[in-house]
Structure 1
Amino acid sequence: MQNPEVTSKLTHEERRKFKNFLVIWIGQKFSYLGSAIVQFALIWWITEVTQSASFLSLSFFLTFVPRVLLSPLAGRFADKYDRKKLLIIADSLQAFTTFILIAAIYFRGFMVGLVLMFNTLRAIFQTFHNPVSATLVPLMVPKKKFSNINGLNQLFLSVLDLLTPAIAAFLMVFFPISIILWVDVVTFLIAFCFLIPATIPKQNQPFRNQNQIKETQSKKRRFQRITDGLELFKEIPGLGAIISVVIIANLMLTPFNALITYFVNVSHGGSEIEMAILSGCLQVGIITGSILVSLKRKWVHKTRAMFISIISLFFGIIFFGLAPNGSFYWIYIGGISITFLLPIFRTLRATITQMSVPVQKMGRFVGFFMVFNSLSMMVGYLVVGPLAELIGIVPLFISSASLAIFIITLIFLFSKIKQLEAISLEPSDYAPQKDEIPPSIKKSDQKEPIETPAP
């Protein structure tokens, strides 16, 4: 599974941490598959039962409330406490919540309100899970493998997302949803078996001890540590711009994300089979793009590649929304076009973040990023349902995609995002240590913003 030529150049400690990372990573993919199958089944059930865009958007809205309220706390937990224990607790509570839902269905039957509450509870535990997972790559993977691991991760997630709708649709034909929910519990147990024997390194002690001494001297310093995630946007030119692109893109994607099942089932009269095929097409695009990313060894114009990939997504949504009634082949092709270049943006954005943000602050950075990102998406999910019922789902798809193209283009042209080109994706050239910012992008070396075609 590992390239001998690469592993032979790693130290014993690097190999040990990398092997532990792979063990955890494999287990988490099983858990991800189970959760995705259950989520597909629940969303389709809500669509068929309610036939309401507002109920669908409300379901997505409620899952984002915990992310907005709890993400800063979750990020601090990820930096301060034992990451392995946090993963075990978060995953265990998610599985326990699923078990409670199964029991509630058995005694009281299936209700929309029950499903909405269930999804909200799962979102709470996922909020504490995400910052911990985000720290594992920079903490346990050799820096020279960041880009490869991110590309491989995108590929595996795409394969799992390709299998998810097919498996979920098959199960929904033969089993009631109360049985399908058990998939989440079983895959959690598999992930748990992988996680228990693995070891996750502790936080860098010299860094932590130094700051802990300062924290005991002043409450002001404690508040300063909480705001470290925000300070990174000032310390690293272009980081705020790239995060702004992600936030704008996710906001403008909320109509598509929340109402895609409504578009298939209500607007075009499709069943869970058509929805499964469309989901598969979306993943075919991502898988193809991920393969291209994994084969690419060096990115000369990183921001230009990110710009093209993220803009192509929204042009794909416009094409997708213009599909004639019942033209599912058009819809399937549109699905592939939406996601084909997306892995380029995701991989480069993740790698740039991991190379520039100090690992000791990664948890807090992810936590604060999740707040702003989730807040924007929460607002989006709150309004897309009523908007779809007011102006129609197709005008909503086209207008949101067009607005995204306009705003993102402005960000790439007039922000400091071009300065992210200074970050080498080859860690052998330079790798930030502790809380150091790469010399090539320190504030003292900043130049005036250059016209950019970026993320």
Structure 2
Amino acid sequence: MDLQQSQTTFKHYLLFLSGQFTSMLGSSVAQFVIVWWITLETKSAVYLSITSFAAFTPLVVLIPFTGVFADRWNRKILIGVTDFLQALIALILIVLFWFNVISIWTLIVLIAIRSVFQAFQVPVVSTLIPLMVPSDKLSRINGLNFLLSGIVGFIGPVTAAMMLEIWTICEILWLDVVTFLIAIIPLTIIKIPTVKTETSWEKASFTRDFIEGLTFIKHTKGFMAVLMTAMMINFLAMPLDVLLPYYIRFTHQGEASELAFVMAASQVGMLLGGVLMSVIRGFKRKILTAMHFLYVFFAMYALIALSPKGFFWLIASAMFTSHLCLPIINVSFITVVQTIVPKHLYGRVSSVMMTLCNLASPVGMIISGPLAVFTGIVNLFLGCSMLGALCLTLSVMFTDIRYVEEMNIANY
């Protein structure tokens, strides 16, 4: 791909990103109102755990296989079809809420089905960045992606909380459908380049492609250490992610507006972190930088746990600081991977990495609720923050995680 092609595909990627931003906004609003409805209707940390488990597990299970599709099938068609099917799920939810026949288990099943469609879309979208963005713009584009996520995360909860004051949930869910349809427009305009793989469709099996990605990871110095550390960190971070609505509502007696305030503060932090990573060229020692900011994240986790009742400003401040770190952590890791992994293997390697990184997350989700009931949610948050700091220390001291950036891919 020459310079002119790179600049053209880069512009096309930015156009595609604008559509995805619109779709993400609608999904953010819908997610907030659905989670808040579950919190109020069930008054149960366990149901929140089950819902999160249903939303996330299909991604973990299917992405190793759908990542192969990302390398081999028409990317534009895959994205368009999965967008349409997710909009269809939103329409079904609207009908069920409209006729007041929705149940918690029906909602959980529909959330799981929507997650299946997302499992086909996520690896495809991730392959577009190294495929359409010049290498010298990778760090900034990755930062821009987290910047947009921060904007969506800030606007979405605030908008949802305001809408809940005047609209019903089924009326709010129409926004999700409309934004999905809007996202299709730039997708029909752009051209997504193809990359010829080393083996033909007829001769290569999905299993072989998955093994290729796994083999690359196993033989790349430091990659496995990164993944094992990420698995433990993801597991320990799950209680805060899953049980925040319950924590705000029942531990601190907050309402939807307080939850929106805390979530918005976290996303402002994400936003500023994304701005930082979009305007700088990245850090020289990316892995060690990520580890340092992870320590800050877990310190804020502990502060959230220890916040006095009703001190929403303190919780929001800690969420702001912790999420300020996330774009720095994620962009550092992602840029290292995109730099090291060959483009013809990226879909396979990224899907395997995503699976291994997220493997512990469903376990953390499903046991968060029961653990909160057994230990108390404050003790659960505090214990996870302390274990997280300990895991980071052990990984730096006893693994080769610091050397992953020195990998030479000449033989791949």
Q: TM-score, normalised by structure 2?
A: 0.95
Within the candidate set 81, 84, 87, 1:95 is matched to 87
User: What is the CA-CA distance between 1:183 and the residue it aligns to?
Assistant: 0.7
Check whether the contact 1:24–1:198 (CA below 8 A) recurs between aligned residues.
yes
Higher mean displacement: 280-289 or 173-182: 280-289
Check whether the contact 1:64–1:375 (CA below 8 A) recurs between aligned residues.
no
1:45-64 aligned within 5 A = 45-64=37-56
In the alignment, residue 349 of structure 2 is paired with which amino acid?
Answer: F
Q: What is the aligned partner in structure 2 of residue 110 from structure 1?
A: 102
Q: What is the aligned partner in structure 1 of residue 133 from structure 2?
A: 141
Check whether the contact 2:293–2:329 (CA below 8 A) recurs between aligned residues.
yes
1:332 paired to 2:310: no
Structure 1 pair 400–292 and aligned structure 2 pair: CA distance change class (3 A): same
Measured in 1, the distance between the counterparts of 2:129 and 2:308 equals 44
1:150-165 aligned within 5 A = 150-165=142-157
Within the candidate set 192, 198, 201, 2:193 is matched to 201
User: What is the CA-CA distance between 1:239 and the residue it aligns to?
Assistant: 1.7
1:190 paired to 2:187: no
Measured in 2, the distance between the counterparts of 1:53 and 1:383 equals 10
Q: What is the aligned partner in structure 2 of residue 379 from structure 1?
A: 363
Within the candidate set 199, 214, 222, 1:211 is matched to 199
Q: What is the aligned partner in structure 2 of residue 438 from structure 1?
A: 409
Measured in 2, the distance between the counterparts of 1:115 and 1:298 equals 41
Q: What is the aligned partner in structure 2 of residue 300 from structure 1?
A: 284
Which of these two proteins has the greater Rg computed from alpha carbons? 1
Within the candidate set 74, 80, 103, 1:82 is matched to 74
Q: TM-score, normalised by structure 1?
A: 0.86
Instruction: Show CA shifts across 1:90-144 (max 9, x none).
Output: 1110001111221233335332122211211111111111100110000000011
User: What is the CA-CA distance between 1:304 and the residue it aligns to?
Assistant: 2.2
User: What is the CA-CA distance between 1:387 and the residue it aligns to?
Assistant: 0.6
Q: What is the aligned partner in structure 2 of residue 362 from structure 1?
A: 346
Within the candidate set 407, 414, 418, 2:391 is matched to 407
Measured in 2, the distance between the counterparts of 1:302 and 1:31 equals 31
In the alignment, residue 382 of structure 1 is paired with which amino acid?
Answer: I
1:248 paired to 2:232: yes
In the alignment, residue 200 of structure 2 is paired with which amino acid?
Answer: Q
User: What is the CA-CA distance between 1:377 and the residue it aligns to?
Assistant: 0.8
Check whether the contact 1:68–1:375 (CA below 8 A) recurs between aligned residues.
yes
1:278 paired to 2:249: no
Q: What is the aligned partner in structure 2 of residue 31 from structure 1?
A: 23
Check whether the contact 2:300–2:319 (CA below 8 A) recurs between aligned residues.
yes
User: What is the CA-CA distance between 1:45 and the residue it aligns to?
Assistant: 0.7
Check whether the contact 1:248–1:408 (CA below 8 A) recurs between aligned residues.
no
Structure 1 pair 76–298 and aligned structure 2 pair: CA distance change class (3 A): closer
User: What is the CA-CA distance between 1:151 and the residue it aligns to?
Assistant: 1.0
Segments of 4+ moved more than 4 angstroms: none
In the alignment, residue 77 of structure 1 is paired with which amino acid?
Answer: F
Measured in 2, the distance between the counterparts of 1:228 and 1:211 equals 12
Check whether the contact 2:139–2:277 (CA below 8 A) recurs between aligned residues.
no
User: What is the CA-CA distance between 1:212 and the residue it aligns to?
Assistant: 1.9
Structure 1 pair 354–189 and aligned structure 2 pair: CA distance change class (3 A): same
Within the candidate set 310, 317, 322, 2:301 is matched to 317
Measured in 1, the distance between the counterparts of 2:3 and 2:281 equals 23
Q: What is the aligned partner in structure 1 of residue 336 from structure 2?
A: 352
* Structure 2, gaps ≥5 residues long: none
Measured in 2, the distance between the counterparts of 1:385 and 1:223 equals 35
User: What is the CA-CA distance between 1:395 and the residue it aligns to?
Assistant: 0.4
Q: Secondary structure at the match of 2:190?
A: coil
User: What is the CA-CA distance between 1:291 and the residue it aligns to?
Assistant: 2.5
The CA RMSD measured in Å over matched residues stands at 1.8
Check whether the contact 1:277–1:332 (CA below 8 A) recurs between aligned residues.
yes
User: What is the CA-CA distance between 1:61 and the residue it aligns to?
Assistant: 0.8
Q: What is the aligned partner in structure 2 of residue 416 from structure 1?
A: 400
In the alignment, residue 157 of structure 2 is paired with which amino acid?
Answer: P
Instruction: Show CA shifts across 1:47-104 (max 9, x none).
Output: 0111100000010111223123312221111111001110011111000111122123
Measured in 2, the distance between the counterparts of 1:173 and 1:187 equals 21
Measured in 1, the distance between the counterparts of 2:188 and 2:379 equals 50
Aligned positions, number: 411
Measured in 1, the distance between the counterparts of 2:401 and 2:57 equals 30
Check whether the contact 2:97–2:169 (CA below 8 A) recurs between aligned residues.
no
User: What is the CA-CA distance between 1:298 and the residue it aligns to?
Assistant: 4.8
1:264 paired to 2:264: no
In the alignment, residue 211 of structure 1 is paired with which amino acid?
Answer: T
Structure 1 pair 222–48 and aligned structure 2 pair: CA distance change class (3 A): closer
Q: Secondary structure at the match of 1:341?
A: helix
Instruction: Show CA shifts across 1:223-263 (max 9, x none).
Output: 43221121121232112222223222211111001100000
User: What is the CA-CA distance between 1:367 and the residue it aligns to?
Assistant: 2.1
Check whether the contact 2:26–2:176 (CA below 8 A) recurs between aligned residues.
yes
Measured in 1, the distance between the counterparts of 2:169 and 2:357 equals 31
Measured in 1, the distance between the counterparts of 2:391 and 2:218 equals 21
Higher mean displacement: 383-392 or 232-241: 232-241
Q: What is the aligned partner in structure 2 of residue 3 from structure 1?
A: none
Measured in 1, the distance between the counterparts of 2:373 and 2:153 equals 29
